[in-house]
Structure 1
């Protein structure tokens, strides 16, 4: 399993999630996006609809909706991939056990920085887990660890 930590400092979380979703779909994977707050899930859903070029969009839906299993990007309040996703974004900076996923993205900001650092240390003690840390530098992402 691989966990990518994304420290948000410039762009809003929904825009970062849309970028991760676009790259995930380009790789031929499905994505589960997890956030406790309904307003954050709604903002992410709106960002996904606006994220692609003008002639397309990043289709998405909410867990529990009638066609949730068919959605390439599914938004939920828990890490249960009803759409068969192997990639997961934890969009609210809160770690949840996501070991069933091939790759997990933990997106965090200044408010959840302490928890993200504790999570980094905790996951470092696990065998078979690869960690990467990314931060924004101007308009691009650089790998910091």
Structure 2
């Protein structure tokens, strides 16, 4: 695990979180990494919990909640907490959840809705704060065709 992880901002413009997050989690698992998905809102976690079981007819993403037994064994863990009980290498920050201490993660994803002016403004503040602190940052946005392109 890295002392200073890569921090990637994902600017959602053409797709929703429900459309993008499962694919990012699949790629994370393909790398052999565990994932921690942190949201500030309990209802967001409830929706994700259901979505990850049903997002495709032929597949699902095994996951659990930090509040449930065996949280440490989960390949993908949904939480509101700053703790990393499953030893995840990838941290996904949703909405206005706190990034917290990133030490120990290899990569952090900050995913925000580009159609929400408040979310965009908050992402800009996070970017500036992290950049000023010397973080290793990347900014990803969707092309008109819906592919992800590194823009910074």
Q: Return the TM-score normalized by structure 1.
A: 0.90
Instruction: Give the superposition deviation at 1:10.
Output: 2.0
Equivalenced residues, count: 143
Q: What's 1:140 paired with? A: 147
**What are structure 2's unaligned runs of at least 5 residues?**
none
Answer yes or no: is 1:75 the counterpart of 2:82.
Answer: no
4+ aligned runs moved over 6 Å, structure 1: none
Contact 1:15–1:47, Cα closer than 8 Å, also in 2: no
Contact 1:94–1:112, Cα closer than 8 Å, also in 2: no
Contact 2:141–2:149, Cα closer than 8 Å, also in 1: yes
CA-to-aligned-CA distance 1:48-67 (integer Å, 9 cap, x gap): 2234561x421011112011
Instruction: Give the superposition deviation at 1:71.
Output: 0.7
Deviating more after overlay: 131-140 vs 43-52: 43-52
Answer yes or no: is 1:36 the counterpart of 2:40.
Answer: yes
C-alpha RMSD of matched pairs (Å): 1.6
**What are structure 1's unaligned runs of at least 5 residues?**
none
Answer yes or no: is 1:2 the counterpart of 2:6.
Answer: yes
